[in-house]
Amino acid sequence: MYFGVKIYVFVKLLCLTLQGAAAVFGELPSPTNVRINSFNMGLVLEWNAPQNHTENITYRAEYKPLLRDFEVVCLNTTAHSCEFTSELNPLGIYSFRVRAERERSASSWVGTKEFIMDEHTILGPPSVTLVPDGADMELNIEDPVLRIKTFRRVYNNLTFNITYWKDGQEEKAESMKSPLQKVVLNLEPLTRYCFQVYVLTGRFSKQSQPSIVTCESTKAYSWEKHPWLIALGAFAGMAVTVGVLCLIVWRCYRVARFLKPKATLPEHLTEFLLDQRRSFLAMQSRTQPEEVYHEVSILFLGTETDDGDRPLVDKTNHL
Ligand SMILES: *[C@@H]1O[C@H](CO)[C@@H](O)[C@H](O)[C@H]1NC(C)=O
Ligand SMILES: *[C@@H]1O[C@H](CO)[C@@H](O)[C@H](O)[C@H]1NC(C)=O
Ligand SMILES: *[C@@H]1O[C@H](CO)[C@@H](O)[C@H](O)[C@H]1NC(C)=O
Ligand SMILES: *[C@@H]1O[C@H](CO)[C@@H](O)[C@H](O)[C@H]1NC(C)=O
Ligand SMILES: *[C@@H]1O[C@H](CO)[C@@H](O)[C@H](O)[C@H]1NC(C)=O
């Protein structure tokens, strides 16, 4: 470790000496602040002019693929940047260098570290469109658009981190992850929600810039979207119907009990009432509803039947 530091110091001193010598022999000083600006796989090398030497200076900028030699892209340019995008592969590994030139003299090169395109490029935000559908919100997410190749041909195993909150309640934000570009969230009806999404790549665990915050209101509840609610309603309706039927059957039972009282009656009357009950049962099976009227006329003959008469007729009419 100590030895390494010593070597580093020695090399550094040597470089400084050489630079001093260059200055002495009238060579150009190098461009300064050389940097790579790479966004969505576009790549621009940028630098500042050397100090005190701004007149008649041009620059030469080159790139080097991993196992090949340097190739020039910008020559005799007076700009302080060079666009490399069209030369590069999104899965490539490159180094870049630039020097100042004037007539027949040139500065020493200033190089960059190796740049791994798919790892080091900055990924821009995805774009998000919101489509409210009842109380649901549909998010359609578009991948960031790369300058070279499509996003999914470079990155796979993508996940979207979706953060959303009720407008004005950002501190209560919720978030979820989804690999899908179309996500439907069940939210509260008639409420304004805001959304922000970013992409996470499987390789290098890269995170894109977050999308701009977009807000949209959900609409009123839509029943067609929730068939289980309709099923629930149907079930409730059925339960009520069954309840009513039970009530009716109970009332019929009461009437039947009334028609066959416990007290013994004269034989001919019992027979008559049995007949009556048979016709009542037949009426229940709804094959001969006209028997109802039959019954009414005969109940006139009874002494105590006036009260029980009317509900029976009412109920059968309902059936
Ligand atoms: C640039 O010029 C200024 C004076 O104009 C001088 O102080 C400075 O040392 C010079 N820098 C270089 C790198 O030559
Ligand atoms: C810049 O170039 C012009 C002609 O091309 C020349 O006249 C001028 O002297 C040069 N300036 C310097 C500082 O070399
Ligand atoms: C760049 O400039 C040099 C001289 O300064 C000239 O010989 C050469 O042709 C120029 N190259 C281009 C591509 O303009
Ligand atoms: C999504 O990103 C936010 C902000 O970086 C973070 O707080 C949240 O935990 C993430 N959600 C998930 C599900 O990872
Ligand atoms: C996909 O990425 C997630 C993390 O974002 C990781 O947990 C998972 O193992 C990856 N799956 C594949 C098949 O690469």
Let me know if residue 252 belongs to a domain.
no
Residues 106 and 181 in one domain: no
Give the pLDDT confidence score for residue 138 in this predicted structure.
97
Ligand 2 atom closest to residue 55's alpha carbon, by position in its atom list: 13
Residues 112 and 134 in one domain: no
CA of 144 to the centre of ligand 5 (A): 19
Residues 82 and 27 in one domain: yes
54 within ligand 3 shell (Cβ under 6 A): no
Separation of alpha carbons 52 and 31, rounded Å: 11
75 within ligand 3 shell (Cβ under 6 A): yes
Let me know if residue 5 belongs to a domain.
no
Let me know if residue 312 belongs to a domain.
no
Residue at which a domain ends, from 120, 146, 171: 120
Let me know if residue 15 belongs to a domain.
no
Residues 181 and 213 in one domain: yes
Give the pLDDT confidence score for residue 123 in this predicted structure.
97
Residues 143 and 179 in one domain: yes
Ligand 4 atom closest to residue 177's alpha carbon, by position in its atom list: 13
29 CB-near residues (< 8 Å, 6+ apart) = 19, 22, 23, 50, 51, 52, 53, 100, 107
CA of 161 to the centre of ligand 5 (A): 14
84 CB-near residues (< 8 Å, 6+ apart) = 43, 44, 45, 61, 63, 73, 94, 96
- The residue segments making up the domain with residue 94 are 20-120
303 within ligand 3 shell (Cβ under 6 A): no
Residue at which a domain ends, from 158, 189, 217: 217
Give the pLDDT confidence score for residue 308 in this predicted structure.
46
Query: pLDDT (tens digit, 9 = 90+) per residue, 193-247?
Result: 999 999 999 989 999 999 999 999 999 987 766 677 778 878 888 998 898 898 9
Residues 96 and 136 in one domain: no
51 within ligand 1 shell (Cβ under 6 A): yes
202 within ligand 5 shell (Cβ under 6 A): yes
Let me know if residue 166 belongs to a domain.
yes
Residues 72 and 131 in one domain: no
CA of 202 to the centre of ligand 5 (A): 5
Ligand 5 atom closest to residue 157's alpha carbon, by position in its atom list: 1
Residues 110 and 26 in one domain: yes
Walk along the chain (319 residues) in steps of 10 and give the mean pLDDT of each run: 50 48 63 97 96 86 97 97 97 97 93 97 97 95 95 95 96 97 96 97 94 96 72 85 89 80 62 66 58 52 49 47
CA of 131 to the centre of ligand 4 (A): 23
Pocket test for ligand 4, best of 159, 164, 170, 175 (most atoms within 8 A of CB): 175
54 within ligand 1 shell (Cβ under 6 A): no
Phi (first) and psi of residue 206, to 5 degrees:
-75, 145
Let me know if residue 68 belongs to a domain.
yes
Residue at which a domain ends, from 59, 85, 120: 120
Give the pLDDT confidence score for residue 189 in this predicted structure.
94
Q: What is the CATH number of the domain that holds 182?
A: 2.60.40.10
Q: How many structural domains does the chain have?
A: 2
Give the pLDDT confidence score for residue 119 in this predicted structure.
96
Residues 32 and 80 in one domain: yes
Residues 39 and 91 in one domain: yes
248 within ligand 5 shell (Cβ under 6 A): no
pTM over 0.85: no
